[in-house]
A and B are shown apart, each in its own frame.
Chain A
Amino acid sequence: MNKISYYPGCTLSNTAKNFDLSARESMKALGWELDELPRWNCCGTVYSLASDNLINHVAPIRLLVHTQELGRDKLTTLCSMCYHTLKMSNLMVQKDRDKLEKINFFTKDKDAEYKGRVEVLHLLEILKNDIGFANIKEKISRPLKGLKLASYYGCLLTRPKAAAIDDVEMPTIMGDLINSLGAQAVYDPCLTECCGSYHTVMDQEVVADKAERIISSAIKNGAEAIVTSCPLCFFNLDERQKNILEKTGKAYDLPILYFTQLLALGLGLGPEVCKFDLHHIDPRPLLKAKSII
């Protein structure tokens, strides 16, 4: 069993348990253990672009220190925001040793000095590079035949280029995974559009507009569901269909899925690891119609 340090972050421990559980179980089925960090804190949520306020980077760097304490040099995570914050803060201190020294000085703990040697990876990168989509394809016991899926990357997986897990403008990593699961990836030009992000708190209408654009584009291109890797994108696309209905009277009822849920189903794991009850638009009718569950 391969072991890799895993940082779930706050959302995956709460509202996105469907993402967390399906990932852990799928990885187990692939011979990998997602080994949760014994101590962890908030990732910092947003990567701070202020060049002179390093306090915002203390939280993500501390997580890298925890990884280092375990003697590990890799840390994986699932939420796009966690990934982005960890990756960018890590790149920043790797590039700028002065900043690293300042952060280490601030923590005032000789044993907890970050050396800058941990690599932050998104789980999709491990699936692609360490396990390989071809190997995953061989382990698929229940191909997701007949399912047409649009991959939705949002902003944080591929931007900026330094943190991108794939081509900045035309990522295909999720689509490639989908194809290896036996489903059919469809191209949707809205794949890297903004979902509205945190406006979901302040201005739900903006998010409903963005979500409608993304959802209708996916449907237009033949998708039966959207696949994502970000709990916030998931929420905005799934939950805000309620607002779209209120606003426009249109019920799109398009299921939103995490890539890990599809992976779990393909690997023959039961729907219980997918926790479909956490979805606003229930994907089960679609999956049943395709005889996947």
Chain B
Amino acid sequence: MKPLEFSAPTTLNAAIKLYSANGGGAGLMAGGTDLLVQMRSGRAEIGHVIDLKRIPELNVLSYDKKRGLRLGAAVACDVLGAFKPAKAAYAALIEGAELIGSTQIQSRASVGGNVCNGSPAADTICSLIVLGAQCVVKGPQGKREIPARDFMVGPGKTALRKGELLVEFRIPPPPAHSASGYLRFIPRNEMDIAVVSAAANITLSANGKTCTAASVAIGAVAPTPLLVEAAGKALVGSTLDEAALEAAAAASRKAARPISDMRGTKEYRTHMAGVLTKRAIAMALQRARGA
């Protein structure tokens, strides 16, 4: 086996420098729950592991009513799950993050790693998309923001340019009378990869009757997660009655272009994209009315 170098830089700039100096041969590690498995299986050829957990910028976790949520890319899922201010305001994100793996994996895995791994079945990406998250990235050319909806560009591929690393997510504060929810389908109770997933974020009018804004995203049904704009449009202006929900479900079925594999057929995934779209909206609606 080839020798491996290991570094644990304590500043963001040192990490960026190290990463660039290693060209494509370095692996960025937060929790390592994907990276170490990929290195062992030979899927990732890594000559240098850069541990990002000691960098303060990647451990940020704060909530402000005006500016919203800041979530460092290396914050572990269990830390996010225990962060009370985020629980109701970003329910879909917490739900997704808490579905990733066992207690042991929750201690290590991060939302940042989940999306950088680039899987269209990642449990946090649909929620980040519907919540309007921005991904703050930094590289040798400086800092920029990538909307979560554009972050994944193909299976295992992200919009990060050479030498760039994900620093944090910024998610705007939720509007009044809004709520979100995330659901995935797996053939068992826990500890699996989504066959299909859906997240919804809705805002109601002050009297709670009409939908004034809506966003729906579906996962594991295309090479990347999909923001289904037609589903959101189908909901806005409606009372979120059965007809509106069915129109949104139809939009998700139309947007889905899944493959058939051992976890589900094309037809099944397409059907389930509609089912989960409806249920995620219903979940968000119940929360928005209860709040």
Whether A and B are associated in the same complex: the answer reads no
